Chains A and B, each alone.
Chain A
Amino acid sequence: MTRSRSKLTQARIVLGIAVLAFATFSVLVPDFLSAGNVSRLLQNVSILGILAMGMALSIIGRGIDLSMVASMAVSVAWMLAEMNTGASFAHAFGFALLFSIAVGVINGVLIAYVEIPPIFATLAMGTAIYGFGRVFLLASDVNYLPDDWQWLNTIATAAPLGIPVSVLCFAAVCGLGHLFLRGAREGRYIYMMGDNPQAARITGVPIRPMIVGQYVLTSLVALVAGLLMAALVATMNTRIVGSTYVYDIILVAVLGGISLSGGRGGAGSVIVGTLLIGILLNGMTMMNLGYTTQNVIKALILLAALTIDSLVNPRDEQTSQQGDI
């Protein structure tokens, strides 16, 4: 967006914090700066980053998709299960693709046409998808990459020129996300809907079809993340649905400056949010901090970023939006 006034956007602040954290860990933690660690750091968060890019698409359009993790896990697990029973890749992938699209369409229809608030519609959908998958599609929690497809794992864990393949995937998704949001007509529509849905409608944005499209896109990005995850660790564990992973995704997106009230932020926000979370998680793990302590620190960082944002870019009566967070 052309915004010559407020130079200190949240994305820039977070980038600053990320650099600071990186510098601090480099001093405090031995081996933090080693090439192996940096590439591991990036590899660990690239899936989170891709999911956050998908989440960003919903949030910028003034929505949210809490069913992303379930959609990712069930569609990819189903694909692996089918491949293990001897189905061809095209066949299995087709199922996963259709499943993802169906999830997005149902989410979108519930939100756009039935007018259920996105947070509730997708929360319920997430549970429904997982239950449906476990009852009808999947025999077990964990589904493995078939033996004759292990070469995929080799490729995914490779690092040409020192850059892990998963990071390249993350970069590609963010690049496409950026091109779509800034360059495509529908991307601009998403910003318009997020900024002011009523004005977008009167201006002639087909709001309801756009909402459906937005959730289909989010679901498809989740599928991409799921495929990468399956290739990277050679399994898809559906128990991830029950974890706090979806909140990490929201944390990354919001941290980078994608306001939950919609219409703000972009692919750059996702990248800086992912970097900061990656640096923190990696640094804290290398410092042997426990899982719970890490969660507390993540939460405090989020609060700090939001506080700084609201101090630097104060929202008064005139500029506040409904549901502003």
Chain B
Amino acid sequence: MTEPLVRLTQVTKEYFGVPAIRAVDFTVLAGEVHALVGENGAGKSTLTKVMVGITAPTSGTIAVDGTPVTLRSPAEALNLGLAMVFQETSLVPSMTVAQNLYLGQEHFFTRLRGMYIAAQQFLQSLNFNVDPMTPVAGLGAAQKQMVEIARAVLRKARLIIFDEPTAALTPEEKHHFFALIERLKTSGVAVVFISHAIEEALQIADRITVLRDGEIVTTDAASSFDRASIIRAMVGRTLSDELYTRKDGQTRPPQDLVLSVQNLSMGSMVRNTSFSVYAGQVTGIFGLIGSGRTETAKVVAGVLKRNLFHGGKVSLFSRAVRYRMPRQAMLDGVVYVTEDRKIEGFFEGMSIAENIFAGHLTARGPRIVSPAQMRDLASTWRDKLNIRAIDPGARVVELSGGNQQKVVVAKSLVQRPKLVIFDEPTRGVDVGAIAEIHAIIKGLADDGLAVMVISSYLPEVLNLSDRILVARQGRIVEEFAPQDATEETIMYAAVH
């Protein structure tokens, strides 16, 4: 038997005494596609970071081609042929594709023309359809990823690690990406990728490793897994069915008309879209990236402004509104729970209590802050939404993704809204918390609130919604009742 490309033996990595991975044995074979799955905080990222020299393991050994190595920096790992492509790309936006490819390898005097010719030939050899002379800022997410991959291949990487490679990609781009992985594999490059999308792992991986709480639960050929068995291994319990299937098959009837959007337009993202949202119901909006769903929601919530002329009409409780800022929408009872909680969701330097209180304060809160009131409010909502933190004074940034999301939800619900817009409510949330967040959303509709849920995950839309709207190219194009809809029919409406 040949020696694996990379072998980790009993590797442990501790952060401030807390182990992120514990005594992990892990191998990557040459030319295989290996998927790493697990809940948030299971140690997937740490495991990959150890392999490419970003962090040093606390104990244990790493062997490349059977030779034990100490990786002190990503550059050293790259010299051994181990490269990592990050979720946020590390390309320089203002430079061209070719310049990015050769970044750090330029000679003292570089002939740009020569570089472009070399880049062109190299990209063609990989069958990448990217013009080496375009600035990276002008590329889409998938093309940026291609450039990153090309750069890794150019530096003779034998193992490329991806962290959530498909999170930012549309289905077509995903398709290209999978084809690319196939090509890398045939040219003998091993691929390790971290993924939350279990179908992807099943589809393209040769082997799958499931991590839970910093330990490897199982490693096996992908063919010996199915969706349910992976989820079982991830959470240690069977959850898949209860998570994404409706138990009742009942939909809530529409109550009063809350929101009516007519011919709304905003820039090139939202084009002449019309739809309505009713109280006591969950209105699901499904659409691919670029379908303008988030932008539509943000216009409704006052985060973005619609076109001044021919911008259309937004009515809330039959009253025409035009918001300049989210505060006005919030005071009228519209709150928007963002898809990107780190950037526009929570206050990372503040505690859970301070975050929740922030929502209370802006919504007709008291002029004078009372610490006791802040604590009471926090403990009420911690119980209500089951927010778990070892240390109640901990900053929100130290919590897990699911608990962070619950804090953002609490911060919005404390404002006593009448219309709640959830944008990708379970993105980056661990499996256990997904069920809880779904229960919260359903509970709001049961309490008579109007709820909008934007999601790109079909099972989620099907499970939560009482009505399903499909967005395509900046406009709502179709409406389904959940009992008539299937994943296929919805996807058929959403692709152009």
Contacts across chains A and B counted by CB atoms under 8 Å: 101
> Which of B301, B327, B336, B357 has most A Cβ within 10 Å?
B327
B347 contacts A2, CB within 8 Å?
Answer: no
**Which listed residue, A3, A182, A199, A200, touches B369 by the CB 8 Å rule?**
A182
Chain B 314-353 near chain A by CB (<8 Å), digits 1 or 0: 0000000000011100110000101000011111111101
**Which listed residue, B336, B367, B395, B415, touches A184 by the CB 8 Å rule?**
B367
Instruction: State A204–B361 Cα separation when bound (angstroms).
Output: 9
B369 contacts A263, CB within 8 Å?
Answer: no
With a cutoff of 8 Å between Cβ atoms, the chain A residues found around residue B357 in the complex are 188
B369 contacts A188, CB within 8 Å?
Answer: yes
B351 contacts A3, CB within 8 Å?
Answer: yes
Chain B 352-383 near chain A by CB (<8 Å), digits 1 or 0: 01100111011101111100000000000000
> Does B411 make an interface contact (CB < 8 A)?
yes
A191 contacts B344, CB within 8 Å?
Answer: no
- CB of A59, distance to nearest CB on chain B (Å): 14
Instruction: State A266–B391 Cα separation when bound (angstroms).
Output: 23
Instruction: State A187–B361 Cα separation when bound (angstroms).
Output: 11
**Which listed residue, B326, B361, B397, B398, touches A202 by the CB 8 Å rule?**
B326
A185 and B346 in contact, given A204-B330, A204-B363 (Cβ under 8 angstroms): no
Instruction: State A33–B158 Cα separation when bound (angstroms).
Output: 69
A1 contacts B368, CB within 8 Å?
Answer: no
A202 contacts B344, CB within 8 Å?
Answer: yes
Instruction: State A39–B395 Cα separation when bound (angstroms).
Output: 40
A201 contacts B367, CB within 8 Å?
Answer: no
A5 contacts B358, CB within 8 Å?
Answer: no
> Does B303 make an interface contact (CB < 8 A)?
yes
A204 contacts B326, CB within 8 Å?
Answer: yes
With a cutoff of 8 Å between Cβ atoms, the chain B residues found around residue A319 in the complex are 348, 397
With a cutoff of 8 Å between Cβ atoms, the chain A residues found around residue B330 in the complex are 203-204
A202 and B354 in contact, given A185-B368, A263-B349 (Cβ under 8 angstroms): no
B358 contacts A184, CB within 8 Å?
Answer: no
With a cutoff of 8 Å between Cβ atoms, the chain B residues found around residue A200 in the complex are 347, 358
A205 contacts B327, CB within 8 Å?
Answer: yes
With a cutoff of 8 Å between Cβ atoms, the chain B residues found around residue A185 in the complex are 361, 365-369
- CB of B301, distance to nearest CB on chain A (Å): 8
Chain A 94-136 near chain B by CB (<8 Å), digits 1 or 0: 0000000000000000000000000000000000000000000
> Does A206 make an interface contact (CB < 8 A)?
yes
- CB of B419, distance to nearest CB on chain A (Å): 14
- CB of A217, distance to nearest CB on chain B (Å): 16
- CB of B391, distance to nearest CB on chain A (Å): 6
- CB of B48, distance to nearest CB on chain A (Å): 14
**Which listed residue, B350, B353, B395, B415, touches A204 by the CB 8 Å rule?**
B415
B358 contacts A192, CB within 8 Å?
Answer: yes
> Does B93 make an interface contact (CB < 8 A)?
no
Instruction: State A192–B351 Cα separation when bound (angstroms).
Output: 12
Chain A 200-232 near chain B by CB (<8 Å), digits 1 or 0: 111111111000000000000000000000000
A5-B393, A188-B358, A199-B343 known; 10 new pairs, CB 8 Å cut-off, are A184-B368, A185-B367, A185-B368, A196-B343, A198-B343, A202-B326, A202-B344, A202-B345, A203-B359, A319-B397
Q: List 8 A-B contacts (CB under 8 A).
A: A1-B350, A4-B394, A5-B393, A184-B369, A185-B365, A188-B361, A192-B350, A204-B327
| Interface residues in chain A, defined as those with a beta carbon under 8 Å from any beta carbon in chain B | 1-5, 182-185, 187-189, 191-192, 195-196, 198-208, 263-264, 318-319, 321
